[in-house]
Amino acid sequence: MLFNRSHLTGLAVVAALVAGSTVFVRAHTRLEKSEPAAGATLNTAPKQLQLWFNEKIDPAVSKLEMTSGSKQVELSGVHVMGGKTLMAAVTGTVSGGTYKVAWQTAGDDGHVVKGDFTFTVNKATH
d(CA 60, CA 106): 9
At residue 14, the pLDDT reads 46
Alpha carbon of residue 31 to chain centroid? 3
At residue 21, the pLDDT reads 42
Which residues contact residue 104 at a Cβ distance below 8 angstroms, ignoring those fewer than 6 apart? Answer: 61, 62, 63, 112, 113, 114
CB 100 within 8 A of CB 118: yes
Residue 111: pLDDT over 50: yes
d(CA 115, CA 102): 6
At residue 20, the pLDDT reads 47
Say whether 125 sits in a helix, a strand or coil. coil
Tell me the pLDDT tens digit for each residue of 36-57.
999 999 999 999 999 999 999 9
Domain 29-121 has CATH 1.20.120.530: no
d(CA 50, CA 69): 21
Of 89 and 22, the one with more pLDDT: 89
